[in-house]
Amino acid sequence: MHLMVIGGAGMIGARLVADLVAKGGLNGRAVTHLTLADVSLAPVPEGFSGKVTRVAVDLSAPGVAAQLIATRPDVIVHLAAIVSGEAERDFDKGYRINLDGTRALFDAIRAEGLRAAYCPRVVFTSSIAVFGAPMPDRIGDEYFRTPLTSYGTQKAICELLLEDYSRRGVFDGVAIRLPTICIRPGVPNKAASGFFSSILREPLVGLEAVLPVPDTTRHYHASPRAAVGFLTHAAGIDTALLGSRRALTMPGLSATVAEQIEALRAVAGDKAVALIRQARDEDVATIVAGWPRDFDAARATALGFTAESSFEEIIRIHIEDALGGKLG
């Protein structure tokens, strides 16, 4: 099976590939050819025995999508995107990459299928940013898409395109709306959501972290490991079960910052918690106040998608996957 991961050089892409190698395939199917496409060259996947193609391309550039799809991958996982903040700052770039790039991919699949029968599985990563305030405390599967950012708008549009192209048999698509990924490995970044990870990640290795919002702030999370599980499950699911509604809010853990901190205390003690410094940032607090707090992801749960059920579990997964199983 030929698997193509677009955005394959990022954190989730790398974890997906590591998972493939560990499990010897995707949902029990051997991956004989792996294509990793991204704007920068993805690292050579360690331990992968099949054919590997790595390409550094801009999906939105003319001809690129057609060139990728000419290799007729069986499963395409499309992770590539300009992040929320950048899409908001750079209107043209956000629409070009997040909307036009995705549409170019979809249209290239259509063109390939018009040449000779072709209907790959396409897994598209959408986001809970397709929702925006005012919202119910818990958002159900039939609540309307109300993005308040250009990023969220672009993701919502791509969901609609994916559903129409799938309905027409151009490809067999599934769009998965990822919760905020926590604990995100690496160094602190300037994303407004960054603190959700850093208040756990940094103290776990003895470093200080700043909490810019009240600890009553509630948000919706899943681990990087859960995200890989979502992608894998979406790649293998029987899409007849989805009907025409192929954009699914993934399950996640709704928790307050205080609950995150208590989980940190349970796993790593008071010493770790003492490294969190409260320093309210009005800008961040205002942005985060507009974000969803909880979802009733009933459809995805019924379809077998699973996430963590406690923040202790999320922290332990980070210790296993990012810290080699060892704490401090």
Please give the positions annotated as active site: 151
| CA distance to 122, 123, 236, per residue, from 62 (Å) | 21, 22, 31
What is the per-residue binding string for a copy of itself in 166-205, x denoting contact by CB under 8 A? -xx-------------------------------------
* Piece of 28-36, 49-57, 64-72, 151-159 that binds a copy of itself (CB under 8 A): 151-159
Residue 164 is a binding residue for a copy of itself (CB under 8 A)? yes
Determine the distance from the C-alpha atom of residue 72 to the mean position of all C-alpha atoms in its chain, rounded to a whole number: 24
- The nearer residue to a copy of itself, 150 or 232, going by C-beta atoms, is 150
Q: Site residues for a copy of itself, window 204-263 (CB under 8 A)?
A: 244-245
Nearer to a copy of itself by C-beta: 113 or 236?
113
Q: What DSSP character marks residue 142? A: T
Q: Out of 98, 125, 150, 223, name the contact with a copy of itself by CB under 8 A.
A: 150
Residues 6+ apart with CB under 8 A from 236: 26, 27, 29
CA 28, distance to chain mean position in Å, is: 22
Q: Which of residues 49-88 bind a copy of itself (CB under 8 A)?
A: none
Residue 283 found at the interface with a copy of itself (CB under 8 A):
no
- Smallest CA-to-CA distance from 18 within 321, 316, 304 is with 321
Of 50, 147, 188, 214, the one binding a copy of itself (CB under 8 A) is 147
Q: How far apart are CA 142 and CA 244, in angstroms?
A: 13
- Residue of the chain from 105, 128, 157, 267 that contacts a copy of itself (CB under 8 A): 157
Q: Are strands 253-256 and 218-222 parallel, antiparallel or unpaired?
A: antiparallel
Beta bridge partners of 117: none
Q: Which is nearer to a copy of itself, 97 or 156 (CB)?
A: 156
* Position among 144, 216, 238, 325 found at the interface with a copy of itself (CB under 8 A): 144
* Binding-site size, a copy of itself (CB under 8 A): 22
Binder of a copy of itself out of 46, 137, 142, 282 (CB under 8 A): 142
Task: Give the Cα separation of 132 and 146 in Å (integer).
Answer: 5
Q: What is the DSSP string of 261-293?
A: HHHHHHHHHHHHHTTEEE---HHHHHHHHTS--
Judged by the rule CB under 8 A, the positions of this chain that interact with a copy of itself are 91, 110, 132, 142-148, 150, 153, 156-157, 160-161, 163-164, 167-168, 244-245
